[in-house]
Amino acid sequence: MSEARIHQDSKYFKKLQEYLREFVYGGIDGAITTFAVVAGGFGADLDSGIIIILGFANLLADGFSMSVGAYLSAKSDKENYKKHESIEYWEVENLAETERQEIVDIYKAKGFAGELLEQVVDQITSNKDLWVAEMMKDELSLMEETKSPFKIGLATFFSFVTIGFIPLLIYLWTFFYPSAIDVFFWTSFLTGLAFVVIGALKSLVNQTPVIKSIAETVALGLLAAVVAYYVGDILQNFFIKQ
């Protein structure tokens, strides 16, 4: 493999890692909500065709809603950062002594003193961009989001739809190719596998133990399915079997 190809593959892998968080949480939400719809439909003894319709309606509508929310949240964070950054630039240019004293106070609190403190402050305040960056980070506790809001929304939607489709897979297959298999059992099995995989990826994002992350993800999915199943069963008995 050529060095250029290796470099290109490395850049592509880094891009995937950059948006792994959005992929993981979009996938978890997609799998849980779609599986809950399927479990509720099964509990209500609905026809497979109706479950498929409800599942796809939920998959696309909720996926779009979640991706738009992720996009707007990321865009809002960027706009908020830029707004405060503009204020800091103005203050550095017009209230230089006050802003310099704030840098002194920040680095005193970090343990700097004497000549070293003066050197550090002089170095920071000699560069306006560095000065503002320090104020943003240490005074306002704001870090600039480097990821694209559009790509954040896109990664969320792609993950939600891709992972969320798994609970519908067996229902869709048996709808077009009827067979005697236990549809809900195999749907639960495949969705459980999806929870295991996405839970393992979540451990990479959050730097937590793999087993703990998988257990949490599977437990949340199971809880949502159980609640949806019994709600479907109760409502079916109340509204349909009157």
pLDDT tens, residue by residue, 140-191: 888 888 889 999 999 999 999 999 999 999 999 999 988 888 999 999 999 9
> What are the pLDDT digits (tens) for 56-108?
999 999 999 999 999 999 999 999 999 999 999 999 999 999 999 999 999 99
Output the pTM of the full model.
0.82
Q: What is the DSSP string of 81-130?
A: HHHHHHHHHHHHHHSHHHHHHHHHHHHHHTT--HHHHHHHHHHHHTSHHH
Which of the four pLDDT bands, split at 50, 70 and 90, describes residue 16? low
Give helix 3-18 / helix 20-43 axis angle, nearest 10°: 50
Give rounded-to-5 percent helix, strand, coil for the chain: 85, 0, 15
- Can you give the C-alpha Rg of the chain in angstroms? 26
| CB 51 within 8 Å of CB 37 | yes
| CB 22 within 8 Å of CB 155 | yes
Residue with tokens 């009157």: 242
Give helix 20-43 / helix 166-176 axis angle, nearest 10°: 50
How far is residue 200's CA from residue 34's CA, in Å, rounded to a whole number? Answer: 20
| CB 158 within 8 Å of CB 107 | no
Give the torsion sign (CA, 139, 86, 71, 148): negative
Q: What six digits make up the tokens of 169? A: 């897979």
| CB 152 within 8 Å of CB 71 | yes
Res. 128: pLDDT tops 60: yes
What integer pLDDT is reported at residue 107 of this predicted model? 92
How far is residue 34's CA from residue 172's CA, in Å, rounded to a whole number? Answer: 13
Mean pLDDT of the chain: 88
